[in-house]
Amino acid sequence: MALLCVHAATAQQVAHPSPAPPEPFVLTAPPAQTPTAKVPDAALAGNGDIGLTFGGSPGQFKLYFGKNDFWRAYPVYPGGGIALPGGLDVTIGELDGADYKVTQSPTEAVIRGSFSKPGISVATEAWVAAMHNTVVLRLTSTKSCTAQLRLWAPDGNTGVVKQGTSGNVSWVTRSFENTPLLEWPSHVALAMNAPQGAIRLEPGKPVTVTVTLYTNHDRPDWKEAAVNEAAGMNESGLQAIYAAHAKWWKDFWDRSSISISDPMLEKYYFTSQYLFASSSRPGKFAPGIWGPFITKDSTAWGGDYHLNYNYQAPYWAAFSSNYTDLTDNYDQPLLDYMDRGRVHARTLLNMRGIYYPVGIGPKGLCTTRWPLTPDEMEKRYATRENTIDSGYKFLGQKINAVFGAANMLMRFYSTYDETYARRVYPFLLACADFWEDYLKLENGRYVIENDHYGEVMPNLRNKGQWRHMLGDYNSTLSLGLVKMLFKGMLEVSAVLQTDAARREKWRHIVTHLAPFPTQEIDGRVRLKSVERSPAEWHSRAMGLARVSIHGLILPGEVCGPVTDPAFNAILLSDVRHWKDRMQQPGEWGNTLGNGIETCFPGAVRVGYDADDILQQLKDRIRASSLPNGWITQSGGGTETLAAVPLTVNEMLLQSYEGRVRVFPNWNRKRNASFHQLRAYGAFVVSSVLSGGTVRQVDIVSEKGRNLEMENPWNGNPVKVIRNGKKAETVSGHVFTLKTKAGEKLRLVKG
């Protein structure tokens, strides 16, 4: 193989069915939305740090390389945010006008292409090495032809581009440094162990091009590392890289699985898992709104960490899917911003604790300053006042830091990992400090003033007139997330055996927060978004919606059929009326704009009809998704990757109310199974539903906590097998089992 390198136990035991390999997406036309400021429509691959977008046409392949840690650390977008390192163009003139077929295979994490016309056919394979900073492209032609290679980095946006050679290695670098307001430098290097220019493809003789990227955030010798690896790449090394890649992805797919006898949803379930795993990896920078699939500078919202749900949501399915390690990178940006968050709280609100703007980046970066000049402010926001909140975009919301705490609590409940809890406890405690100060005790209840349900800001639509909309009182978003926080503080502090003296206050807050507001209209009680507000739009009868779901159900997790059946009935009634606002298939829950990852699992948790949820989910996917399997919405990108996995997982297993429930919202006439999904309490659970009956439930107790479980057999006796030996029999609608760390339990009908 020619090689060129561009571096940048019982009788009743039932086997858990092995699901079919994830089906690939096949693209039959060149991508029409690549490059883009949002999600590209091309085939995608990644290793959680480097993203490969396979764009272009048969005559000119355009490989775009994104990287989660390559940022222009400027505090305003457009201009600031994640940036494009560069790409590789491969031009084969003989393929102009050829047929286009590109297959994105999640099983192997490989993109395969087939480009044919009379007299010539070229096959390609492209992948991002799971364990190395290497992108691989393999070309095989049926006819002698020339392929032109051009390694490039984009000019502009204050980036400094250099290129050169070192021995037989050609390299390109791009750097952001030494410009006003830039908070830290970023450098990236790509290197090729052949001159820029032509290579020859001979019939049946594959040529492999590999691409590796290093930044200064990877290592201090970022350029030297790229050049040295380019010079040293050989065929045996590439084979070792592929072996490590194949093993990583095999292990990934073995971690958990589901089978629901619905090929379409299974295809999107596993593709969404693939795209998330391609976007996020421990030890690397966290993915922003578009993950590492960057095809231009100045992406929408700077591709930043948007804290009023966009940053948090992509991770939500990872906990129940047993991919907890893929969430390791989530906390660091929030921890890094704490010093600035304390300054915001003290200087802007005279509060203890932390107060975060709507958007941040890595390494303590704020991405969401108002434009720096009145002229630019007027152009973009219809007002010359660019000093609102000292120039930072809080948009009327105080809840962003607590919103960030939600994922920390979800991970803690999923693992009860004390080492992890100690790492994030200072952040949680700083949130508690802030809200102890901010809450007001009025008439025996804690109330929340001027924390807004939605973003309140000047813009072109309101012609810069916005202050009259300020004044939300007891927003359901705020009430729910604050209750979530203090419930979490009680649990985490108890496990860590710290701050016992503060728990009485925290308990008092949990039990005395203002009730969630409701109203009766036309004889039906429904949820109100806020108790009161000067903003006219709150007076409309909305009922349960995406933002209130965030506070109450996901990620707030303070409501549900176990927690408060009567209030849950109100929420369920609201979901039943979502169809009232639909004008066409795919609009259920008003999720075309935002919220598919929120409204669908939220509907599952309140107990809405399972079959209708699945049908509405499929209609929503058909209404707005790309040929590569990415479900799209107008307001964001990576958060939709949680939508299908989380919806399905919550149908098969729930535990967020402290009680494990298998198939809690599933049509028992439909066979289904799941293997190694994760439940709160640090339990890993598997089960099979067949012929209308739960055949068995297998549970691994990682931390030896008590297991409260809803009886899968409608109150009938349940036999418990512990580590392969028959143990006790339990019964009742709900039962509790004591467990030991590492113990394996099997439950079967008695």
pLDDT band (50, 70, 90) for residue 337: very high
pLDDT for the residue numbered 720: 98
Residue 662 exposed, middle or buried by CB count within 10 Å (0-12, 13-18, 19+)? buried
Could you give the 3-state DSSP secondary structure of residue 460?
coil
Degrees to nearest 5, angle at CA 281 with 279 and 284 = 100
C-alpha 237/C-alpha 247 separation (Å) is 16
pLDDT one-digit tens code per residue, 664-721: 999 999 999 999 999 999 999 999 999 999 999 999 999 999 999 999 999 999 999 9
pLDDT one-digit tens code per residue, 454-470: 999 999 999 999 999 99
Q: Could you give the C-alpha distances from 267 to 229, 273, 291, 439, 629, in angstroms and in order?
A: 37, 10, 21, 46, 8
pLDDT one-digit tens code per residue, 597-626: 999 999 999 999 999 999 999 999 999 999
pLDDT for the residue numbered 231: 87
Lookup result for tokens 């707030």: 556
pLDDT band (50, 70, 90) for residue 16: low
CATH node for 662-749? 2.60.40.1180
Lookup result for tokens 């290695």: 169
pLDDT for the residue numbered 192: 83
> Is the predicted pLDDT of residue 9 greater than 50, yes or no?
no
pLDDT for the residue numbered 197: 86
Among 71, 16, 679, 745, smallest CA distance to 361 is for: 71
Degrees to nearest 5, angle at CA 283 with 281 and 285 = 75
DSSP-derived secondary structure for 201-264: EBBTB-EEEEEEEEETTT-TTHHHHHHHHHHH--HHHHHHHHHHHHHHHHHHHHH-EEE-S-HH
- The mean pLDDT of 415-440, rounded to a whole number, is 98
Q: CB–CB of 628/105 below 8 Å?
A: no
Pick from 65-79, 183-197, 255-269, 466-480: least confident: 183-197
C-alpha 576/C-alpha 579 separation (Å) is 7
Could you give the 3-state DSSP secondary structure of residue 156?
strand
Which residues are CB-neighbours of 580 under 8 A, at least 6 positions away? Answer: none
What tokens appear for 140 in the block? 């095989």
C-alpha 123/C-alpha 103 separation (Å) is 11
pLDDT one-digit tens code per residue, 34-63: 999 999 999 999 999 999 999 999 999 999
C-alpha 606/C-alpha 609 separation (Å) is 10
What's the chain's length in residues?
750
As a whole number, the mean pLDDT across the chain is 95
DSSP-derived secondary structure for 574-626: HHHTGGGG-SSTT-GGGTTTS-HHHHHHHHHHHT--HHHHHHHHHHHHHHSB-
C-alpha 213/C-alpha 222 separation (Å) is 9
Percent with pLDDT over 90 in the chain: 93
Could you give the 3-state DSSP secondary structure of residue 436?
helix
pLDDT for the residue numbered 269: 98
pLDDT for the residue numbered 230: 84
Which residues are CB-neighbours of 412 under 8 A, at least 6 positions away? Answer: 420, 421, 424, 488, 491, 492
C-alpha 559/C-alpha 657 separation (Å) is 8
- The mean pLDDT of 388-408, rounded to a whole number, is 98
Residue 191 exposed, middle or buried by CB count within 10 Å (0-12, 13-18, 19+)? buried
Among 314, 358, 310, smallest CA distance to 546 is for: 310
pLDDT one-digit tens code per residue, 314-334: 999 999 999 999 999 999 999
Domains of the chain, by residue range, sit at 41-253, 261-659, 662-749
Burial 282-313 (b: 16+ CB within 10 A, else e): eebbbbbbbbbbbbebbbbbbbbbbbbbbbbb
- In sequence order, the β-bridge partners of residue 730 are 718
pLDDT band (50, 70, 90) for residue 298: very high
pLDDT for the residue numbered 18: 59
Burial 458-492 (b: 16+ CB within 10 A, else e): beeeeebebeebebbbbbbbbbbbbbbbbbbbbbb
pLDDT one-digit tens code per residue, 136-175: 999 999 999 999 999 999 999 999 999 999 888 789 999 9
> Is the predicted pLDDT of residue 17 greater than 70, yes or no?
no
pLDDT one-digit tens code per residue, 572-596: 999 999 999 899 999 999 999 999 9
Q: CB–CB of 521/552 below 8 Å?
A: no
pLDDT one-digit tens code per residue, 60-117: 999 999 999 999 999 999 999 999 999 999 999 999 999 999 999 999 999 999 999 9
C-alpha 397/C-alpha 358 separation (Å) is 8
Which residues are CB-neighbours of 250 under 8 A, at least 6 positions away? Answer: none
pLDDT for the residue numbered 5: 43
C-alpha 518/C-alpha 440 separation (Å) is 21
C-alpha 383/C-alpha 381 separation (Å) is 6
Lookup result for tokens 């604790």: 353
- In sequence order, the β-bridge partners of residue 66 are 51
pLDDT for the residue numbered 170: 87
Domain 261-659: which CATH number of 1.10.287.610, 1.50.10.10, 3.20.20.370, 1.10.150.20: 1.50.10.10
Question: Greater confidence, 10 or 238?
Answer: 238
Please state which architecture CATH assigns to domain 41-253. Distorted Sandwich (2.70)
Cα torsion angle, 362, 368, 369, 371, sign: positive
pLDDT one-digit tens code per residue, 524-571: 999 999 999 999 889 876 799 999 999 999 999 999 999 999 999 999
Among 564, 415, 431, smallest CA distance to 509 is for: 431
What tokens appear for 416 in the block? 């009860």
pLDDT band (50, 70, 90) for residue 663: very high
Three-state SS for 250-313 is HHHHHHCEEECCCHHHHHHHHHHHHHHHHHCCCCCCCCCCCCCCCCCCCCHHHHCEECCCCCCH
The gap from C-alpha 90 to its chain's centroid, in whole angstroms, comes to 32
Q: Could you give the C-alpha distances from 151 to 171, 190, 194, 675, 677, in angstroms and in order?
A: 8, 8, 11, 44, 43
- In sequence order, the β-bridge partners of residue 329 are none
pLDDT for the residue numbered 10: 35
Residue 368 φ/ψ, nearest 5 degrees: -120, 60
> Is the predicted pLDDT of residue 193 greater than 90, yes or no?
no
